[in-house]
Structure 1
Amino acid sequence: MVLVTASVLVVALAVAVAVFALTRPDAEAGPAPDGPLPLVAVPAPQATGAGCTTLMDAAPATLTSNGKQLARRPLADPAPKATAAWGTDDPVVLRCGLERPPELTRTAQLRVINGVQWLEVTQDQAATWYVVDREVYAALTVPGSAGTGPLQTISDLVTAKLPVRPVRF
């Protein structure tokens, strides 16, 4: 249990560092807005499994966010497995094959969006939404300015590509 908690904390820290690095105002220190996006690898033991392959192969080329089209962005090498990103300034990031989030408890509040149960974990200027009712855990990190479009689109993708499973606490 301690190992799982420690692993999830590492994932949360890596996501927070990535979000911070991408949202700081110092443009010279960040990646080029149209170049490959550097992302920190996080523990994703099921990233190479069939569920993640199916999900990531079907990930859309664009996402709609607040009426804007966010193009899929190339990832810098070494790119984390089963990961995709969209947008330039505040990218939306999808990761698949993650470990169970420690915030997922029997008393956690889950939200159902287009048939998918999600657990929201908020950070400073972003939220990470975890898919918790499928064969693999996936996470969608969205900046506070993103609106609901990316979450709805990815929910539709998850519904179409991954069968429902009972939530595992």
Structure 2
Amino acid sequence: MSEQPLSRVTLFVAAGLAAVLVAGVIIASQVLGGSESDEAAPTTTTSQAPRTGPLALAGVDAPDANAPECAKLVGALPAKLPSKGDELARLPLADPAPPAAAAWAGDRGEPVVLRCGLPKPEHAPTESLREISSAISKVKWLLVEGEGASTWYTVDRPVYVALTIPDDAGTGVVQEMSETIAKVLPVT
């Protein structure tokens, strides 16, 4: 069978259909979604509403929360914590508040939460501990990183303390809390 060349009419019809298809795509994009020159629409982030009222904290397993060391620590906690040039104010906790717990935050954003009297944190023997030096002594912490926040656990005091810090809070929080813990709780 021999191949016959396409006729001029067939070529013009094919070119015309292609042009109509391209024109249809351009018109549809104009009608449904803008033009080629449009830039991506700016995204807006929704900020949290200003914080009002006491903060509700869920209870966690804290078998030593009523220990005298936790009472001493909670009584010595600062009213404010430094956070990247700002100050986080201590928040009232909603009833029923878990024992030996405290929280700090700004007007918006996630709070910093301290809990005292927790069980010994599980960690592999090869995990490295972080030492934060204070004017009094060093405090050894186990850092457990999470999504959006990290939790620091004291591992060298008579009670275990957990300090959960949002990623955007900076390092001033753990430094200030190391000072407070070093003053109040002896090294074990």
| TM-score computed with the length of structure 2 as normaliser | 0.70
Question: Following the alignment from structure 2 to structure 1, what is the Cα–Cα distance between the partners of residues 141 and 85?
Answer: 23
Question: Following the alignment from structure 2 to structure 1, what is the Cα–Cα distance between the partners of residues 145 and 125?
Answer: 18
Displacement after TM superposition at 1:26 (Å):
8.1
Say how many residue pairs are matched: 137
* Residue from 93, 96, 109 that aligns with 1:78: 96
Displacement after TM superposition at 1:34 (Å):
2.8
Superposed CA offset, 1:87-144 (max 9, x none): 14221111000001112x3212100002000000011000000000000000100000
Query: 2:62 aligned with 1:44, yes or no?
Result: yes
Q: Check whether the contact 1:97–1:136 (CA below 8 A) recurs between aligned residues.
A: yes
- Three-state SS of the structure 1 residue aligned to 2:71 is helix
- Three-state SS of the structure 2 residue aligned to 1:120 is strand
Question: Following the alignment from structure 2 to structure 1, what is the Cα–Cα distance between the partners of residues 81 and 47?
Answer: 26
Question: Following the alignment from structure 1 to structure 2, what is the Cα–Cα distance between the partners of residues 91 and 34?
Answer: 13
- Three-state SS of the structure 1 residue aligned to 2:54 is coil
Question: Following the alignment from structure 2 to structure 1, what is the Cα–Cα distance between the partners of residues 52 and 126?
Answer: 41
Q: Once structures 1 and 2 are overlaid, which stretch shifts more, 85-94 or 44-53?
A: 85-94
Q: Which residue of 1 aligns with 2:16?
A: none
- In the alignment, structure 2 segments of 5+ residues that lack a partner are 1-45
Superposed CA offset, 1:48-72 (max 9, x none): 1011011110000000100101110
Q: Check whether the contact 1:55–1:162 (CA below 8 A) recurs between aligned residues.
A: yes
Q: Which residue of 2 aligns with 1:107?
A: 126
The RMSD of aligned alpha carbons is 1.4
Q: Which residue of 2 aligns with 1:129?
A: 152
Displacement after TM superposition at 1:74 (Å):
0.5
| 4+ aligned runs moved over 4 Å, structure 1 | 25-28
- In the alignment, structure 1 segments of 5+ residues that lack a partner are 1-24
Question: Following the alignment from structure 1 to structure 2, what is the Cα–Cα distance between the partners of residues 27 and 158?
Answer: 31
Question: Following the alignment from structure 1 to structure 2, what is the Cα–Cα distance between the partners of residues 65 and 35?
Answer: 21
Q: Check whether the contact 1:34–1:73 (CA below 8 A) recurs between aligned residues.
A: no
